[in-house]
Structure 1
């Protein structure tokens, strides 16, 4: 059981109720040129975020929406709790603390007072965010906290986000895939442009406290990916812990338990969890447009090599 399961359900279902009263054109707001969901955050919260104080033992997981964040979040939480060897009583204490302090599942969510309340959490904090580096609180990059950055091939990300945008009550929907594709390529979605997000993180790819992992490599060999994550964060796990956690956090297992773990959000969050689904929607011209954009912005970079674009994104 993850620390914030009940909190996730509460936050999302409250947001669903709020969104029913909001006109589609008001479902998102703009902050520093990027769109965000009105029911989950606010300009005041994002301003207050600048004052967030990172700790050296914070475990930070960063990834653009629909790159596999929920999956990686669950993997990291299971690994961290195994490393910390929490008792059931301690886990209950952790959940109660987060619930009492109204700690939200994502760093940029909630009210402006959330960051003061986070200071009261006594244990190692796992912090999830969709933000690019320039919008992270300065203390995160200045501290000794380590950041695990998740990336996914942009074509599958685009398709997954398309279905998410159209099924999520908190976000405006699109009349067609073509309309959505234009918005995706121009960054007119919640959390902005994915390509810009990747370009920013590529600048930090050699940073000693930042590790990049791809959705695809986790799909290829989850245990190997988990061992890299454990080494990066300094988690002490036994050899038998890795296959146990991999089984517990498989897509199928998480999908089957999604109603219990995420409430109404479960059906929206867990769709297919596969690699290569982009071929079902991309037209020839859209395929070429994405290839050209990726080449222009990230061609020849270390991040592009890490993502294996030529393997996962070629028709």
Structure 2
């Protein structure tokens, strides 16, 4: 069955990778991308698709209900993949109102528009509303705690994670109240091509190339589970096609590593692949900075449910994914150099 899919936030990091994945995997499907093109949205992420006959880009905000109603009806959307979000924790600490507006109010507007469209079409059973969320809604783990599962109580610790938790609850409520065919995924930290340079891995890669300090919060012992973005896209694909409406699926990379160890791995790969670095060895650039407020100590995902029920597991090791990511940034200076004003922000 072919689908007509609306992908929100499709010019962002995960969104653009997902758009590429869908267009390549299902060339016969109609793909509509909606993005407000805020600072992290970049049309260069999608320029390779401009000649694709079934691809259309629309600049607009997920809070614009008339626009949503028009798109859903005129394009006869049957699948909505909601990836639009404000996602940088530091920014949420400085300006939480934007996160509430986009992540909670925007998700509510999408749900209402999609529900109206679904009812207008006589509630077809193949329609899907996928809400892409984060493991940060579960809070922080101690060193010996078991990983987050789908039944872990929510305990968000930043305005960002609280806004995503609120949107998760709305999506869940729309399934239980209206039987809207929703799906929720909670993923671990993503990395890979097209990631905006305020995030840790691209920041480290680009600062090494520029000979700038490599900022690490606190003592560098915070632990994250890292998921290669193309693995994440394949998991979202699997959830849309095989997931059970009303269910939540955790998506992890099975790659827990301390921030300091991660940065050292990137330094080693960079030293190997980039012989003309301004500072070698690049580990000399590591600089510890004041920890951020409410910095969660450890995230870890138990992805047993998606593995056992949908038969999905990540295909890329952390070493393989980091090497591919470093190579991408080395090969795409034309992509990241215009973003130079943002390079140097902390994780």
TM category (shorter chain) comes to 0.3 to 0.5
Structure with larger Rg: 2
Structure of greater relative contact order (alpha carbons < 8 Å, 6+ residues apart): 1
Q: When the two structures are superposed, what TM-score results if normalisation uses the length of structure 1?
A: 0.35
Higher strand share: 2
Q: When the two structures are superposed, what TM-score results if normalisation uses the length of structure 2?
A: 0.33
Higher helix share: 1
